[in-house]
Chain A
C-alpha cells in the first residue's frame, strides 16, 4: 500500500513539474510550423527558408520544423490549427493572406482573424496579369477593348477560388466593368500552364513565378500599389487605368492560435522579424526569386483587419 502511495506522490510530483508554466524557460524544445499546403509548394518552400535561422543565438533559440497539413485549399490545415493546435507556443502556423481571410468570410470555417494572432510577415507576392508570348495583346487597354467587343470570351486563369489571383480577378472585373470569365485551375502551376499554352486568353499569377517564365509570357501589369523591383518596366494596374489596389497581394508570415500566453506571443513577435531579416535568409530568398516583405506583428494586425473589411464588401456580392 505504502509503495503505491509513494509511487502516486512521485508521479504527482513529476506531473506538476511538467505542468510548470511553459513560458518560464520558453522555448526549451524545437518549435513546429504548420503549413496548410503540401511539401514543395511556394508557401512550404518559403516557410522552410524563412525559418532557417531560428536556432541562432539571439533569435528564437530553438530550431523550427515544418508540419504539412494540406487539403481543401488550405482549409483543412487552418481548421486544425485554430481548433486543435497546442496553445503553448510550440506550434506556429504559416498564413496566406488574402486566402484564409476570404475563406473565413465565404465558408463556415473554424478560423478567422479573431482567433489567430500574427507574429510577423516574411513575404509578399503580388499577382500579375499575364498573356502568352504569342498573344495579340500588349497592354491592359488592348485586352479590355477585346473583352468589350466579345463579352465573356476573355478567359483569365488563376490558382483556384478565393485565393489572391481570384481576388485580383474580382477587383479587375469590377473596376474595369468588363465581362470576363475566371478559370479556377487546380493550382498556380496549372494556371500558369494554361496561359503559356494559350488555353486561356490571360491569367493572374504570382509575380515570382511569372518573372521567372518571362520568355514564355508577356506581363501586362502588377496588381500592387507600386512597381516591383523584379519587374521595373511593368506598370501597375492603376497606372494602366484600372483602379485595383494591393488587396490581392499574397502575404505570407507566421501566427499562433489565440489563447497562447501573452508573454510567449510577445517573445516570438520580438524575435520573428529579426529571424526573417537574418542575412543568410535574405540572401536565400533573393536567390530563389521569392519576394520578401518583412513586417512586425503590429503592422500585420492592422493589415489583417484592413483586408477583412475590404474582402467582406468585395465578396458580399458573390453569394
Chain B
C-alpha cells in the first residue's frame, strides 16, 4: 500500500492546477481529429523542461488520460473519432446522437472511461512485476497472431454484408502496403511523391470518417432534408449512472481486454476499443442492437481504451519498452527529467514515480467531472446547422491532417480517400473495416517478415510460429473467432 503515502504530493495547489488544466486541455485536444493522444503528449513535453520532474509527469499523465477519453466526444457528436482508439465508439455513439441522445452517450462514455481508467491504474499499482515479465513474452510471432486475431473480426464488425466487410478490410490491408517495405526498406506502390511515406493511420482515419460526413452534411443541407436532432427527453446523470453501473459484463470485458492489450508492446489502444467492442457483442443479450446505438457497445469500447493507459506504462517504467505509441513519447518525458526506466525505478525514484501514479488516479476523477460537465453543453454542437457543421469539420480535418507530419501530401491523401469513401458508403461500405485493415496490415506484414527471418535462422519458420503457449492460445482464439463469424452469419440468414 505504499502508493497511499504519496497522495500528499499530488494535493498541492500547483499540482491540482496542473491536473485540472491538463485534463481540460486534454479532453479538448483529444476531441480534435488529428491531435491524437500521441501528438498532444509530444507537443507538451517541451513545456515540462523547466518543471520539477513530478510536476512535469503529472501534467503529461493528465494529458494522456484525458486525450484518450476526449476522442470519444467527436466520435459521438460528429462521427469523426478523435484517434484510432475511438473508432468503435463512433459506430454506436453517433447513432445515439442522431436519435437525440448525444448527452446520454457522452455520459456513458465518461463513466465507463473512468471505470476502465481506475481499473488500469490499479493493475499498474499491484501487478507491475509479473506483468512486466509477461509483456516480454510477446515477440514477433505472438504479435503476428494478435494482428491476425484482429483481422478475423474485420468482416463481421460493422457490415450489413459480410462480403462488403471483407472487401473494405482488404482495401485497408492494401493501403497499408503502400510505402516502405518493412524489412528491405525498398519502396513499393509509390506512384507519386505524395505517397512516399505511405498512408499514415491517422490520415486514413480522418479521411475515411470526416470527409464522407462533410459531403453527407452538405447533401442534407442542399436537399433541404435537415435532420432535426430533437432531444427526446435526456436522461439525468443519475439515470445514466444506474444504466452504466448495471452493465457489469460490458465494463469488465472492456477493462480486462484493455489492460491485456495495454501490456502488449506496440499494440496499444488503437485496437483495444475494437476488440472489446467485438467481444462484448458476442456475449451480449442486446447483440442485434449493436451498430444501431447500443449503450453497451460504447461502455465496452471506452472502458477498454482508458484501461489501456495504466498497463501500457508497465513495460515502459520497468523495461523501457513502451506499450503504446503514446507511452513511447512519454519515455522522452521521463528521460528529460533524468528518470531512467528499469527494474529499480520504484526504489531509485520512489517519490517521483509514486506521485506520478497517484496523480493518474486523480486525473481519472477530474476527467470524469470535467467530461460530464462538458456533456451538458453537447446540445449546442448538435444544433449547429448542417452547412456550418460541414465547414467546421472540413477545417478541422485539413488542420488535423496537416499537423500530423506537417505535410501537404497528407491532406491530398485524406481528401482523395475520403471522397472515395463517400461513394463507397452510398454503396453500403463502412469505413471501420478499412481503417482496421490499415492499422493491422502494417503490423501483420512487419511481424510476419521479422518472425519469418528469425524462424528461418532457428531452423524452421513454421515451427517458430506454431510453438509456445501464447502462440497456441492465440491460434485457437483466431480459429474460434473465424468459426463464430461463419456460425453467426449462417444463423442470421
- A contacts, CB < 8 Å to B: 38-41, 44-45, 48-49, 52, 67-73, 75-76, 79-80, 107, 152-155, 160-162, 181, 183-186, 189-190, 192-194, 196-197, 199-200, 209, 212-213, 215-216, 284, 287-289
Contacts and interface: CB of A to CB of B under 8 A. Distances in A.
Nearest to A187: B328
B453 A193 contact: no
Contact of B343 (A41, A80, A215): A215
Given A45-B336, A52-B49, A72-B180, 9 more contacts: A40-B45, A67-B406, A68-B405, A73-B180, A155-B454, A181-B457, A189-B322, A193-B136, A288-B338
Contact of A39 (B140, B329, B458): B329
A72 B187 contact: yes
A7 B193 CA distance: 40
Nearest to B450: A183
B406 A75 contact: no
B198 interface: yes
A217 to B, nearest CB: 10
A193 B406 contact: no
Contacts of B406: 67-69
B319 A216 contact: yes
A71 B45 contact: no
B331 interface: yes
B252 to A, nearest CB: 30
Interface in B276-334: 319-322, 328-332
A189 B180 contact: no
A153 B183 contact: no
Give the interface size class of chain B: 35 or more
B459 to A, nearest CB: 8
Contact of B46 (A48, A153, A194, A213): A48
Among B41, B140, B198, max chain A CB count under 10 A is at B140
B446 interface: yes
Contacts of B41: 40
A242 to B, nearest CB: 20
Contact of A40 (B136, B265, B332): B332
Interface string B387-417: 0000000000000000001110000000000
B454 A199 contact: yes
Contacts of B265: 190, 193
Contact of B446 (A44, A71, A75, A186): A186
Contacts of B340: 212, 289
B196 interface: yes
Contacts of B428: none
Contacts of A38: 42, 405
Given A40-B328, A212-B342, A213-B320, A76 B197 contact: yes
Contacts of A184: 182-183, 185, 450
A161 B184 contact: yes
A212 B450 CA distance: 26
Nearest to B315: A193
A183 B335 contact: no
A155 B46 CA distance: 38
A45 B332 contact: yes
A40 B282 CA distance: 38
B320 A192 contact: yes
Contacts of B179: 71-72
Contacts of A45: 332, 335-336
A68 B247 CA distance: 43
B266 interface: yes
A215 B183 contact: no
Contacts of B319: 193, 196, 213, 216
Contacts of B45: 39-40, 48
A153 B453 CA distance: 10
A318 to B, nearest CB: 11
B477 interface: no
Contacts of B322: 189
Contacts of B446: 186
Given A76-B196, A153-B457, A196-B321, A39 B450 contact: no
A274 to B, nearest CB: 20
Interface string B179-207: 11011110100000100111010000000
B164 interface: no
Given A48-B46, A288-B335, A69 B405 contact: yes
Contacts of A75: 196
A35 to B, nearest CB: 10
A190 B331 CA distance: 14
A152 B457 contact: yes
B202 to A, nearest CB: 12
Contacts of B249: none
Contact of B454 (A107, A183, A209): A183
A213 B342 contact: yes
A278 to B, nearest CB: 14
